[in-house]
Each structure stands twice: as C-alpha cells, then as structure tokens.
A = this chain, B = another copy of it.
Amino acid sequence: MHDLLIHSCRTLTFDEDGRPAVLAEQNIIVDGQRISAIQPVSEGPVDAREVVDARGMLATPGFINTHAHAPMVIFRGLAEDVSIERWFNEFMWPLESNLQEEDVYWGMLLALVEMIESGVTTVADHYFFMDQAANAVTEAGTRAALGWAVFGDRGYDALAETADFVARWQGQADGRITTWMAPHAPYTCDDDFLRATVEHAKRLGVGIHIHAAEEMGQTRASLEKRGLTPIQVLEETGVLEVTTLIAHGCGLLPEDIELLARYRDHVGIAHAPKTYLKLGMGLTPILPLRAVGIPVGLATDGAVSNNTLDILESLRLMAMLQKHEARNPEVLTIPEALDMAFHGSAQALGMADRLGKLAPGYLADIILIDQSGTHCQPLHSATASLVYNNRAGDVQTVIVDGNVLMHDRRLLTLDKAEIMANVNRNMDRLSQRVPGRRIQVYNP
C-alpha cells in the first residue's frame, strides 16, 4: 500500500542530456516525502491510500522561485513608473519603514496562496521578520529557503540575530525549511560585514543569498569607488567560498562570468525578468553564464517590482527576452527554457539532487497543469504550450513533500478569505509613505 498515487497523468521528463519529453498515461507513486516510482498505467493497478485523478493533466516538477521578497505583496501597485533610485528611496524603503511583524506573517501567507495557485512549491525568500515567514511556510506546507535580510549599518548584533534565525529554522517543518544568511548587497554591506557573514555561514553550514551586480550602474559605481566589481567583492570577502545565490546579475561583466565559472559547482544566479523590464535594469547575460556552466534559475523578485509571483510569466519572459536581445529566435529554445525552469532553478538553490525532476528518489513536489484550455488548443506541442501558452490559472493541483496543498484549484492548507481580510485590514497604514523616513538609502 503506497501513500499517494497520481493516476494517469502525462509526465514531463528529461533524458540524460536534459531534453524534455512528455510521456502519456503514467502513474506517479509517492511514499513518504519522495517519488518511489513512475510507470505506465498499462503496468497495472497500484494500491495507494490517496489517489489523485490526473487524467489529461500534465505533471511537472513544482516550480522553484529562486529569489523573492514574498511578503512585499502587501505593497503591490504602490511604486509604478519610477526609476530604480526613486523606487528605492521615495517608495520602497519609506514604505518599509511602516512594516510590522504581523504584516510579514499575513503578507507571506497571501504570497504563498498566490504561489501555490501558480504552481510554485519552493521559494528562496529574502526579507525581514522571517520567523513570521517561516511560520507561514510551516502552515502552508510548501518548501522554502529563507534568509533574514540585513543591511551593514544595522551592525554585528543584528547580523548575529539573522544567524540565530538560520540556526532556529534550519531543517524545520519536516525539513521543508532550509535557511540562508541574507546580507542585502555589497553596496549596503561593507567588506568586514560580508566577511562576518561568511563566518556565520561557515559555522552554521549554510549558504549566502545576496543581491549583487543588480544592474550595470551598480557595477560601474563599484568600479569607480574601489576598483572592484560587486562580484569581485564577493570573491574578495570570501562569500563565494560558501554556497551562494546571487540576485540578479544584470550588471555582470565578462570578467565576472569568468570569475564565477570557477565557483559554478556551488554558485547560482536568480533571474527575475519582469522586474528588470519594469525598472529598466537590462538583463542577466544568461547565454554566456550557461555556456560556462553557471546555474541560472527563475525568479519573480518582490511584487512591488514584478507585480505578481507568477513564475510561468518569468519563464516565458526569460526565453523571449534572450531571443530578443540576441535578435536570434534560435537561442534559448523550449528544451533549454524548461531545463532552466526546473533543473537550473534547483541547481541555483543547491538542491538539484532532490528537486526539479520527476524521478524516483526525488522529493514529491509535483504540480498538475491543465492544457485543455482554449489558449492551448489544439495541443500540437505540450512543451511549447508550457513555455508560451499556459497561465498560472491552469495549475490545477499542487503537491509538496507528498502532501496535496491544492486540489482542482481548491486550497487545502490555507484560508484565503481570512488571509485577504487580514491583509486588507492594514491597507491604509501600508500605503503610507513618510517623506524622509526610510529604512535605507540607495546610493550604490
């Protein structure tokens, strides 16, 4: 008697070379937290305590959002059509001066609803009051890699508190929560502060999730101020000695890519294209990064720049924008885009041995996607549809760690109405910007 049977789905699989294929009429068998077998329905009936009828559905690994500030959904729509300087200094950081602990709890829950509804099963989140975010993840049943963001000017005690969070939550929620050190960026954390962060990370055996070379202006400013690129600063301060997740890398120079290639077995880049378009930041140089084997994963960033936490939109934008930049439709093909979405994102989080693939032994983070909608029909290509047609609303069922979190779009772990009511209760306070009051100044 198995724990869970996902009955008669089409499954997205990848061969040895990472080429995707869709197999019809498969049974996915789950025991405990992991996939124990995937076999054709024709092999005969399977006994399981719980059965999900998946006829006609496409089963894929759950999506991984490699960089977000999920609780920021509470501010969405409040900072539009402004430069990155104004976005930080006049909007985001003044808004966040109003942030309270309970905002993070309700905001994280709202974000988790949105992510579950769009097929995201794991998020690498980088924000404040992260105990509340961890509580929300525990309730939701999703997987998360959490880091408590900190600026250098908060001092070493504050840094130590973020390290305490790491120790407190590492491996909690049946192992669904992992933790990271999360210094904000080289332009808001000085070298000694970054070195102290590395010490904490090494002591705790965790990685570092950090913004770096977000856009070329930051790289230029860093070169002017000290003759080093932000990536060279990461190397210089020892950050790259531990597992490192870098957002966003739109300001990477060729020499940065060469440098990062030396650390590619434990360094990844999070790519959040909608933010880059909306803030005019340029784009992560995905093709040269992948050419030297540096993992690049998909991300949404926070909803004040990205507006939604829709990873399918990130996937589509990522593929299309690389074609656009290269003025070459033959780059970033559908197989490559899917490899990045699943394997690449798992690699960027250092979890490619257990996530990003439907295969025996992998964690049972599985989503079922409906491709019967008018916008996908006729379905000449299931993989093309997944990249270019399917919408977040097509995600029907979401399973994490072998537990069903959403079934036929019905949420099973969270109370959406209660969460929305609690977020909306504080809308007026959250939308207030106090001029001159801000948690940080953007001056890279």
Contacts and interface: CB of A to CB of B under 8 A. Distances in A.
Interface of A: 73-78, 80-84, 87, 110, 113-114, 117-118, 274, 276-280, 282-283, 307-310, 320-321, 323-324, 326-330, 333-334, 374-375, 377-381, 384-385, 388-389, 391-393, 416, 420, 423-424, 427, 430-431
Contacts of A277: 320-321, 323-324
How many copies of the shown chain assemble into the complex? 2
B80 A381 contact: yes
Given A380-B427, A427-B380, A374 B78 contact: no
A108 to B, nearest CB: 13
A423 B378 contact: yes
A84 B320 CA distance: 14
Contact of A381 (B77, B330, B334, B420): B77
Contacts of A274: 320
7 tightest A-B CB contacts, nearest first: A77-B381, A277-B320, A307-B388, A77-B380, A77-B384, A393-B393, A81-B333
Contacts of A117: 374-375
* Among A81, A374, A380, residue most surrounded by chain B Cβ atoms (within 10 Å): A374
A83 B323 CA distance: 10
Contacts of A393: 391, 393
A328 to B, nearest CB: 5
Contacts of A375: 114, 117-118, 308-310, 392
Contacts of A113: 374
Contacts of A276: 324
Contacts of A83: 328-330
